[in-house]
Structure 1
């Protein structure tokens, strides 16, 4: 039995995480690695809530997928800097190494990969984050044969974790530039359909527009609609 098989979910409560590392993998994103008090182990695909609290008591919170593997001593989150984003703007421009943040997690069961079921993950933009956690878990457990990833971005420079995903054997599709012999453009049915052989679970993560395209593409390639799990993200109202 692997370590991740031993994970037992329990009710989550608000805790704190200290920012240990902070950097900018792409011009529009910030990566935070935090030491979380009373941290629970997580399944790849889960997320954390980050809550900010103003002196007058006003609070704002947003959810961010976990990029780290479950055995990583730190929790790694990737935040996209959104225009007028209350939480993302603070995390990108104000938060510093050593700061404490309010966190709750890990949260979510529906979008998690159990690391035992053959899965295909089709992700775009900052939606690659749960795929990164899945790739890291698969590598640690020697189950890379069970996971196939298609990652879509505008360019290699603007796609978070592009080098890591490519090194893991992911299919990389860039919509603005050619990559090797592959022309610029979204993934096609001819590229994705061969990847479905033997797959039982499908995961889609990205913007609403991307998610709609990816889900339709998988169905057109023969994926059962009931086996596709979709997670959409975007600015919060």
Structure 2
């Protein structure tokens, strides 16, 4: 519960910065997702294969939310370490490793869904064991190819805790999403209004989910790799020496 309280404290204490990150980072991805998913549903309906739209929609959700974990994870770590320029460091890391996360997200999404369609359990295993990779990227300040193994090790070490967290967060998001849909439907049945309400809910909940996962992941990483260099060590080693004197 201590980690949950820490995560909520970071979220509520920096709500303006968190919402700014959501608007700048998440909103474009959500808009692209809605546009591409609509086209895929139309194509699926035209050719009599609605599953194509469902697959494309789910694939894009996992891909885009995997990418968007990165800046929120970096912001959380900066807040936990009481660093300065938190927002700048979040954007810098997102730009630095965005393409690496994109490539990983494609493999992660495809592996998850092909595993689910084939035998179910392999897809679930892939999702759980590699879910923390973007967060480990932020912790280690390294690309995905150097972070997926530590992420899998964390998931293996804390498998049941991670599953419980993912199930709890997903359940809460489903319940809130249902309540929002019911509330909007009582006012209007306009599709755009329902879509925008779901996007707004994602803008609010996704950062909190990532912050919670980052707080837990940082604790697990420090326990499993107590002497491993992290983003703070790397920045300290690459920072230019301070000038001594009156002019600094």
TM-score (norm 1): 0.25
Larger of the two Rg values belongs to structure = 2
TM-score (norm 2): 0.24
Between Structure 1 and Structure 2, the one with more strand by share is 1
Q: Which has the higher contact order (CA 8 A, sep 6+)?
A: 2
